[in-house]
Amino acid sequence: MDLKFRRNPDYQTLRDEITSERLFMDRRHILSAAGFLGAGSILGALPACSEPEQTPTAPATAGGHPAPGAALAAKKTAFAVAGGATVEEAFTGYCNFYEFGTSKEDPPRYANLMKVSPWQVTVEGETDAPGAYALKDLIDYSKLEERVYRHRCVEAWSMVVPWVGVPMHSVLSKLKPKSTAKFVQFETYLNKKEMPGTNRPSLQWPYVEGLRMDEANHDLTLFAVGAYGKALQKQNGAPLRTVIPWKYGFKATKSIVKIRFLATQPGTAWNKANANEYGFYSNVNPNVSHPRWSQASERVIGGKGGFNERRDTEMFNGYQQVASLYAGMDLKKNY
């Protein structure tokens, strides 16, 4: 392993991460050797992975939105990534969701404790439409799109995920932000009984993230409610999360309960935890190293080469169409 990658991204040591990933891949290997992991195999692929609480044909929840794992109809789009999607079990089995713990396998193990129905999202701040919205009134489930995006974590790994969701601007326009709204902040659900990781001070809770309004309104930015043709599993941020494909993964907010329009730049969870290492913008940038490791390349999770296949990281994660959002900005200073 590369010496420069020895040091710890985020909390756990990279060695721990590699170990858990190796265990994860070994389990996949054993399962596939035993014939349990065929192309169509979805449920119970991993012992450590919580199974969807409902079958893929599950009806809507009491809250009126699809339960985790329920099949979703979505319009295919041209957003694709060469090589295709990461194996689904890697996406649902190898997660960052510190509310459930800091290891990659804690969210799959513990997220089942979280209640995701009914689900309300409170809209506040610089808006003419404040209030508490039921999820089904916020997201038009008849207009879902599937978009395959690369998903690049600041820890220098990546996946390719077929998200299901709607462009964020289609929702924000309904929420009537005032002209004074220059930023939007998202806040994750917080319940200490359901989220064992929140009893530790790994981050300040609740998890908050934010975007400039023009970033939020860019057509690439999504509110996702699903992936792999199904409603999101809890460990991936059910029932509602953001997806900003040109930014590091931590800019995405899982299990959103609050949308707050603001006149000034909001605080964000990782920036509050370590401002030297995690800026507000956090655009994927191979030329700006993290203080403790290079961002020039990434490990491809669930790739053909196993856990240590690498690829070169691309500027804006390959989404060059966002470059104009940052015209005139020094992206080294505004990391």
Task: Give me the residues that bind Mo ion (CB under 5 A), please.
Answer: 96, 153, 249-250
- The nearest distance, CB 31 to Mo ion, in angstroms, is 26
The β-bridge relationship of strands 241-243 and 256-262 is unpaired
Q: Which of Mo ion, ligand MTE, none does residue 236 bind to, with CB < 5 to 8 Å depending on kind?
A: ligand MTE
- Order of strands across the sheet that contains 208-212: 131-134, 120-125, 256-262, 183-188, 208-212
- The nearest distance, CB 258 to ligand MTE, in angstroms, is 12
Q: Give the whole-angstrom CA distance, residue 225 versus residue 202.
A: 26
Comparing CB distances to ligand MTE, the nearer of 153 and 184 is 153
Beta carbons within 10 angstroms of residue 210's beta carbon: 22
Best CA proximity match to 105, nearest among 192, 5, 22:
22
Counting every residue written for the chain, the total comes to 335
Comparing CB distances to Mo ion, the nearer of 133 and 250 is 250
Q: Give the whole-angstrom CA distance, residue 288 versus residue 164.
A: 31
Q: Which of ligand MTE, Mo ion, none does residue 98 bind to, with CB < 5 to 8 Å depending on kind?
A: ligand MTE
Please list the residues that pair with 231 across neighbouring strands: 226
Peptide bond into 206 cis (omega under 30): yes
Comparing CB distances to ligand MTE, the nearer of 133 and 250 is 250
Q: Which of Mo ion, ligand MTE, none does residue 198 bind to, with CB < 5 to 8 Å depending on kind?
A: none
- Torsions phi, psi for 186 (to 5 deg): -120, 145
- The nearest distance, CB 281 to ligand MTE, in angstroms, is 15
Comparing CB distances to Mo ion, the nearer of 61 and 255 is 255
Provide the binding-site residues for ligand MTE, judged by CB under 6 A: 95-99, 151, 153, 188, 207, 236-237, 249-250, 252-254
The distance between the two most distant Cα atoms of the chain, rounded to a whole number of Å, is: 59
Please report, in angstroms and rounded to a whole number, the separation of the first and last CA atoms in the chain.
26
- The nearest distance, CB 252 to ligand MTE, in angstroms, is 5
- The nearest distance, CB 71 to ligand MTE, in angstroms, is 19
Q: Which of Mo ion, ligand MTE, none does residue 252 bind to, with CB < 5 to 8 Å depending on kind?
A: ligand MTE
Q: Are 240 and 139 in contact (CB under 8 A)?
A: yes
Query: Helices (H), strands (E): how many in the chain?
Result: 7, 13
- The nearest distance, CB 299 to Mo ion, in angstroms, is 13
Comparing CB distances to ligand MTE, the nearer of 96 and 317 is 96
Q: Which of Mo ion, ligand MTE, none does residue 141 bind to, with CB < 5 to 8 Å depending on kind?
A: none
Q: Which of ligand MTE, Mo ion, none does residue 17 bind to, with CB < 5 to 8 Å depending on kind?
A: none
